[in-house]
Amino acid sequence: MINDKLTGLVLDEPLLWEKGSRGRIGISIPEAEVEKAKPDKDLVWEGPDFPELSEVDVVRHFTRLSTWNFGVDTGMYPLGSCTMKYNPKLNEKTASMEGFISSHPLLPDNLCQGTLKLMYELQELLCEITGLDAFTLQPAAGAQGELCGMLVFNAFHKKNGKRRKKIIIPDTAHGTNPASCALCGFEPVGLNSGADGILHPDAVREIMDEDTAGIMITNPNTLGLFEENIKEIAEIVHEKGGLVYCDGANMNAIMGAVSMREIGVDVIHLNLHKTFSTPHGGGGPGAGPVGVIKELEEFLPVPRVEKNGDKFILNSDFPLSIGKLHAFHGNYGVLIKAYTYILSMGKDLFDVSTKAVLNANYIKENLKDVFHLPYDRPCMHECVFTDENFEEYKVSTLDIAKRLLDFGFHPPTIYFPLVVHGAIMIEPTESESKEEIDRFIEVMKQIAREAKENPDILHNAPANAKVKRLDETLAARKPKLKG
């Protein structure tokens, strides 16, 4: 049974300055044991306009504000290409252990053996998961991981005596890929995917030349499809002396199923804040470790954690390194959580991927007769629909997303990837139960019926949310930053 009515209380909350009252205080300060000094009149002023509040005022204010938030602990968060999976609380418990939170990043190696051991073992685990030879944990997010990869590309070609100028970027790559290669001085060269939503070797062969440093390929791609020709594509790129970079942000679909080395990948970044269950969104923090084949290891950032006998050390003695990418050694709290997740899952990481793929295909099969499906083939971790079936009713992807809010679901990714007009990209992850996914499917079907029978409901959605439909153009041009 679908219930789109509000339950419980939705509390409006004024600004603290509107709540306060003169003379209210929230703490009891002990009386001073010394005589109060007489202030210099030239140094006395009224002070900042702080609200005066009791303890209960403050507690209720921030508690009420917290009820306005929506996160993965609140409900299903089906953002495609983002892997907003549930974050086990065990990860948080581990990351808050005293030995970790009290360890300063400037401690000498002999006083932080535990933290260095964790980093070293995490690097080794990531190597095992991907099939590559070496990892750096420094990059603070996926985009910085891409930057790191492009710097490695540049260093590799510089060592070989040739400055190559171009990077091939498929239209199904993540949006940060062209920016990352441009930041390193490369020219992004666009490449269209085929009618089946994947790259074809002949298209790569046509534009791959000796002035091209390599290709950045997202696999699975942003259509949620596995690039099944990647091995042949990698051979074409390698024949011309180029390198293959894999954007591994969608690794949640293929852990334990694909060896990056065997399919020809030279460099990959992983999003620990996606695939390996550490919280993300709202600006971070993230972690985007980069893995490479043996031939590229000398270019990785420094310092690197190494094992020397039974000790762990930080080594910066790598003359061809691209340098330092992070103030210290990476976003260490995120690394602890990912390490915890990998150890707790063990070989079940493969089951994570199989269930993520199963859930996405289950949604695809149940909705493809209702929503337009541009690529009707087995998907990986996410599936992409469009608003094409509702154009005659003047109902758009944005209307569908806004209506989902009334049913308590965070909307999926919309209008991306750009290769699909009016895209609705849904990624359920492996975290969601069949019951929750079935409820999402039924809500999507009801929205589809409403689009045809009473489109005004969608045009005016959301009706039950704390904030109603915004004028997004006006909000962008004249943002209201108060209240």
Residues 6+ apart with CB under 8 A from 334: 272, 273, 278, 285, 286, 287
CATH fold of 89-347 reads: Aspartate Aminotransferase; domain 2 (3.40.640)
Closest by CA to 469, choosing from 481, 480, 458, is 458
**Residue found by looking up tokens 């190696």 in the block:** 109
The mean of the pLDDT values for the chain is 92
The DSSP H or E segment spanning 424 is strand 424-426
pTM for the full model? 0.90
Q: Which two tokens stand for residue 249?
A: 């942000």
Residues 6+ apart with CB under 8 A from 304: 136, 314, 315, 316, 318
pLDDT band at 6 (very low <50, low <70, confident <90, very high): very low
Q: How far is CA 25 from the centre of its chain?
A: 42
**CB crowding 115-132: b at 16 or more within 10 Å, else e:** bbebbbbbbebbbebbbb
Residues 6+ apart with CB under 8 A from 423: 384, 385, 386, 397, 413, 414, 415, 416, 417
What number of residues does the chain have?
483
pLDDT higher than threshold 70 for residue 285: yes
Reading across the β-sheet that carries 383-385, which strands appear in turn?
A: 383-385, 424-426, 413-414
pLDDT higher than threshold 50 for residue 1: no
**Residue found by looking up tokens 């499917």 in the block:** 441
Characterise 224 by phi-psi region: left (phi > 0), alpha (psi -120 to 50), beta (else). left
pLDDT band at 464 (very low <50, low <70, confident <90, very high): confident
DSSP letter for each residue of 323-381: ---SSSSS-HHHHHHHHHHHHHHGGGHHHHHHHHHHHHHHHHHHHTTTSB-SS-S--SS
SS3 call for 161: coil
pLDDT (mean) for 273-290:
85
Q: How far apart (Å, rounded) are the C-alpha atoms in residues 312 and 146?
A: 27
Q: How far apart (Å, rounded) are the C-alpha atoms in residues 274 and 291?
A: 16
pLDDT band at 294 (very low <50, low <70, confident <90, very high): very high
207-221 confidence digits (pLDDT tens): 999 999 999 999 999
DSSP letter for each residue of 100-145: HHT--TTS-GGG-HHHHHHHHHHHHHHHHHH--SEEE---SSHHHH
pLDDT (mean) for 54-78:
88
Looking from the CA of 480 toward its CB, the CA atoms found within 13 Å total 8
Q: What is the pLDDT of residue 69?
A: 83
CA quadruple 154, 156, 161, 167: dihedral, nearest 10: -40
